[in-house]
């Protein structure tokens, strides 16, 4: 291999796309040619440095603008379907939301802000009464999207993504059976303690859903992490779930139980009886 060929293969080398043969040929040449070696090293350094350039995060407004646009588009489609001057209806809806600073209606902005995370994490939604009916239908559609996002995130390999999935599911106004099942599944089977804890906290907020109370009680027996056990015991006591008494008694009898958890369980029994 000569210097010319090395230059031709540089791009592939940097991208890690060279096959064994070319790689070997390259290494052989580099061993003898200090000029190519130096050049390639210099290029590799820059390539690596580029790789560690951090990614920036857009503002929360970007997400709300996207979801706002998607909503409007869907509405436009529906109007199309209902035969209301097809294309015109669509373009009116799209037109309304496309200027750089979208002019949102009343409480729409609040709902859409809450759809994102970041500072929206702690935001509460208080729509004004005038727009309530529209809010309700919009919320339903928002829920649909949040559900898709949450379920998808809960399946990711990265525990941080799964934590985000739990966060998204908490923001769903009316979680259906699918979300509750996904959260219970996460509580019982996620390999990461932190994610299970987050799932327990999320389920607590939905405790009026029929499956949740039983799910929390049943989960206790299968948990091995003392942190999750502590969390579940506290939650069950908090929602005053009498049916948990049996589960607590069984837990206390487990010899391997962490003594602190045992103490808490005993306290819990007292409070529930």
Partner 1 sequence: MDPTSDNRLMEEVRDGKVERLAILFERHHVMLFNFFLRLSGNRSVSEDLVQDVFFRILKYRDTYQGESKFAVWMYQIARNVHVDHLRKQKPEVPLDDQFEEPAADEAPAIERLTSEVDAVLLKRALDRLPLRKKEILLLSRFQEMKYREIAELLGCDIGSIKSTIHRTIRELGKIYLELQGGTSP
Partner 2 sequence: MKTIIRLAGIMILLWAAGTAGSPQESQADHAVVNFSDPAKPGTVEVNISEGSITVRGFEGKDVIIDARWREKVLTKEEQEGEADLAEAEEELDQEEMARKKAQAEKAKGMKMLEVESMGLTIEEEENVIQVNAEEGKRAVDLLIQVPFSTSLRLSCHDDERGVTVEGVSGEIEVETSDGPIVLTNVSGPVVADSSDGEIKAVFGKVTPGKPMSFSAMDGDIDITLPLDVKASLKMKTDEGQIFTDFDVRLTPSQQKKEEDERKEGGGYRVAFEKVTLGLINGGGVEIQLTTYEGNIYVRKAK
**Can you give the binding site for partner 2, defined by CB under 8 A?**
14-16, 45, 47-48, 51-52, 54-57, 117-119, 121-124, 158-161, 163-164, 167, 170, 192-195, 197-198, 201, 204-208, 225-227, 230-231, 234, 238-239, 258, 260, 264
Task: Pull the structure tokens for residue 3.
Answer: 């210097």
Q: How far is the CB of 152 from partner 1 (least distance, A)?
A: 6
The tokens for 154 are: 């809960």
Number of residues assigned to the chain: 273
User: Choosing among partner 2, partner 1, none, which partner's interface includes residue 124 (Cβ < 5 to 8 Å by kind)?
Assistant: partner 2
Contacts of 197 (CB under 8 A, 6+ apart): 227, 228, 231
Nearer to partner 1, 66 or 121 (CB): 66
Count other Cβ atoms within 10 Å, centred on residue 126: 7
> Toward partner 1, which CB reaches closer, 92 or 148?
148
Report the nearest approach of partner 1 to the CB of residue 112 (Å): 13
**Rounded Cα gap, residues 97 and 118, in angstroms:** 23
Binding site for partner 1 (CB under 8 A): 7-8, 10-12, 14-15, 17, 39, 42-43, 45-47, 49-59, 61-63, 65-67, 69-70, 73-74, 77, 94, 98, 100, 141, 144-145, 148-149, 152-153
Residue 254 tokens, joined = 């487990």
**Binder of residue 16, out of partner 2, partner 1, none (CB less than 5 to 8 A by kind):** partner 2
The candidate with the shortest Cα–Cα distance to 1, out of 51, 36, 45, is 36
CA angle (121, 71, 156) in 5-degree steps: 50
């Amino acid at each position: 291999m000569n210097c010319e060929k090395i230059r031709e293969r540089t791009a592939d080398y940097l991208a890690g796309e060279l096959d064994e043969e070319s790689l070997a040929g390259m290494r052989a040449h580099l061993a003898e040619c200090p000029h190519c070696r130096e050049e390639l090293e210099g290029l590799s350094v820059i390539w690596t440095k580029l790789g560690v350039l951090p990614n920036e995060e857009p503002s929360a407004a970007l997400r709300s603008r996207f979801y706002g646009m998607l909503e409007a588009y869907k509405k436009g489609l529906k109007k199309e379907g209902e035969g209301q001057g097809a294309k015109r209806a669509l373009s009116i809806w799209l037109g309304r939301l496309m200027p750089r600073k979208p002019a949102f209606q009343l409480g729409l902005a609040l709902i859409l802000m809450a759809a994102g995370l970041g500072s929206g994490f702690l935001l509460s939604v208080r729509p004004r009464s005038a727009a309530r009916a529209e809010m309700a239908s919009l919320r339903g559609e928002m829920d649909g999207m949040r559900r898709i996002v949450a379920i998808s995130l809960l399946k990711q390999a990265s525990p941080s993504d799964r934590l985000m999935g739990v966060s998204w599911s908490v923001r769903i106004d009316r979680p259906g059976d699918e979300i509750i099942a996904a959260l219970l599944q996460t509580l019982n089977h996620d390999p990461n303690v932190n994610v299970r804890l987050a799932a327990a906290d999320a389920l607590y907020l939905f405790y009026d859903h029929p499956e949740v109370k039983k799910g929390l009680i049943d989960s206790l027996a299968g948990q091995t992490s003392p942190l999750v056990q502590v969390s579940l015991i506290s939650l069950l006591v908090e929602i005053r779930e009498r049916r948990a008494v049996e589960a607590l008694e069984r837990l206390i009898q487990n010899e391997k139980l962490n003594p602190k958890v045992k103490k808490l369980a005993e306290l819990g029994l007292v409070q529930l009886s």
